[in-house]
Structure 1
């Protein structure tokens, strides 16, 4: 979560995925698993927590819009790219489906190309549907 009001700071999704993959690879190297490597991309929070998160995210989106208007009123030029909405990362959203597919691709590529990953069972849990257990 950004802690400042700099509306210029944005990160392309591909760069986010690359950072996630680098971190997963770093963790794999630190753990040095020989049999099983389990990853959970996200978990579904209880309904009350989801409602609280959604409320906070909507408030943050409103604040981001206000910051954008304020920045533009000062005559500053902002990037034309679409502003990220953190509701985008909720379970069952296209973003999480894409992340899940990208993680699966990353794991398969590592198992195929990296000798350190070979022979290790990799289990990837990623919820693609919003539901409660």
Structure 2
């Protein structure tokens, strides 16, 4: 079934935005333990924006990503785990090419070339550092983040092999399910833009049986 998510909006007092307290109960009347983010579904839209100009610097791209993650975190409010499956760079580049995205001139932008989103580039190295900074910032300023554990699975890491982000997430869930003491009532929330997201999520219990 499809259900619209309730999103709380921050209060603005005399031009000052008051941050939401994500430690409070989820307004959707459901509490999630774990939130899994397929970063393909976050990084790509931040380079292909519809509601703001396309980023021209690393800082602008990172801020767009942080705003995106903030919005998802406020909606879901996980209580135990935030998992980020870092972008599958080659796949993202192919999506850029299929879309025929217009890139700003080189002299006007740090991110003029979609090749910045490939393994070993300065962009991907700085992205990793920026995400660490973002997490530490939220841990120190948002009470909803204080008890959260984090896991970042990059495309250059090999624990689960060279899989798309969504499949890395499913593999991680299966790994947890097979550990002693795992709570079978753990409530998971998966976010991504892949068409197979819904079917993989619904079949996770069968997938895990087959993966043992």
Q: Where does residue 98 of structure 1 map in the other structure?
A: 126
Task: Give the TM-score normalised by structure 2.
Answer: 0.41
Listed one character per residue, the Cα deviations across residues 6-57 of structure 1 (whole Å, up to 9, x for unaligned) are: xx96532211111100111111111110011111221255xxx68x839x49
Considering fraction of residues, name the structure with more strand: 2
**Structure 1 stretches of 4+ moved >3 Å:** none
SS in 1 for 2:145: coil
Residue from 140, 146, 153 that aligns with 1:118: 146
Residue from 46, 53, 74 that aligns with 2:94: 53
Following superposition, the deviation at residue 102 of structure 1 comes to 0.2
Considering fraction of residues, name the structure with more helix: 1
Give RMSD over aligned pairs: 3.6
Ranges in structure 2 where 5+ consecutive residues have no aligned partner: 1-46, 163-212
Preserved CA contact (<8 Å) 1:42 1:91? no
* Larger RCO (CA under 8 A, 6+ residues apart): 1
Ranges in structure 1 where 5+ consecutive residues have no aligned partner: 3-7, 69-78
